[in-house]
Structure 1
Amino acid sequence: MPSGSCLCQGVKYQFKGEPISKAVCHCQSCHKLSSGSSVNLLVPHDHFRITAGRDHMRECNLTHESGMHLTTHFCADCGCVLYKTADRPEFVDDVIVLAGTLDDPGALDEAEPEAEFFVGERAKWWPALKGVRQLAGFT
């Protein structure tokens, strides 16, 4: 069962099964949240659970540049964003796990993206990923 945690290890999570999808996002919100683009794993909400540190979790609600309502879920102690939730129909029953928070050092190898979102926002020095869908937004 894949697991992850924040930088200070105060909050831990697990999810079962394979992610629904895996994508790199280059939107401005992801740039600000992760100090660059983010690798995201879409996981059914009912397959995801916080296993430690729930009392350390905080939320930040904002409007994404696409217009959807986005909530980031982060550790109050170290500030590490662990996952996001959103009201966009494709995301409403899921959590968007930031793959960089997975505990297994090889986890990012398994998180090979199927798509890149907001490719117009991608840094000019970042090459397009070969063999994955290149999308101007989420669709």
Structure 2
Amino acid sequence: MNTVRSGGCFCGSVKYAVSGEPVLSAYCHCTLCQRLNASPFMQTIHFESSAFSWDDKPTCASSLESFEVTTKPWKQRWRCKNCGTNVASHNSKTNRWSIWGATLDRDDDGKILDWDALKPTSHMFYGTRMLDVQDDLPKWDGYENKSKRLD
């Protein structure tokens, strides 16, 4: 069974869908994520390129704005023109899409739908953290199982 999950920006103008299981789900503490999202860390969930799609409604297409950060020109980032929410990015080096966990659809109690399948398995780029996180997840200097473990 190929599970489809959806999400989008704060105002609802931009919507996306992802299918299947994520390649990676982690809390990212890199300085780029901190600055782009004005937060000490955020949840990033990576999917193979074929698993990601934008809502094809004309409203979504007209509300999308892409941008690149000069230090990582291989990552095209997407945000809503209306509310400014950063929604997703595409990495041309890995051919994967990243979505931000906070943009996923939620139930009536505000909980992310299908959380158990999407919850983070680690903290990455923890060496540049702004605060210590006391949980049972492993902390990595870079990507999980591809860098030095810090705990």
TM range (shorter): 0.7 to 0.9
For normalisation by structure 1, the TM-score amounts to 0.84
1:74 alignment counterpart:
79
- Radius of gyration: which is bigger? 2
2:33 alignment counterpart:
30
Structure 2 SS opposite 1:123: coil
User: Is contact 1:68-1:86 (8 Å) kept?
Assistant: no
For normalisation by structure 2, the TM-score amounts to 0.78
Provide the C-alpha distance between the structure 2 equivalents of 1:128 and 1:70, rounded to a whole number of angstroms: 30
Aligned partner letter, 1:100? A
Residue 135 of structure 1 pairs with residue 140 of structure 2: yes
Q: Could you list the structure 1 runs, at least 4 aligned residues long, displaced by more than 6 angstroms after superposition.
A: none
Question: What whole-Å deviation, never above 9, does each CA across 1:12-38 have from its counterpart, x for those lacking one?
Answer: 111111111101110111001221111
Unaligned runs of 5+ in 2: 147-151
Unaligned runs of 5+ in 1: none
Aligned partner letter, 1:71? Q
Q: CA deviation at 1:68?
A: 6.5
1:50 alignment counterpart:
54
Question: What whole-Å deviation, never above 9, does each CA across 1:90-113 have from its counterpart, x for those lacking one?
Answer: xx2210000100012332733321
Distance verdict in 2 for CA 1:33–1:41, change over 3 Å: same
Q: CA deviation at 1:81?
A: 0.6
Q: CA deviation at 1:79?
A: 0.8
Equivalent residue for 1:41, pick from 38, 45, 50: 45
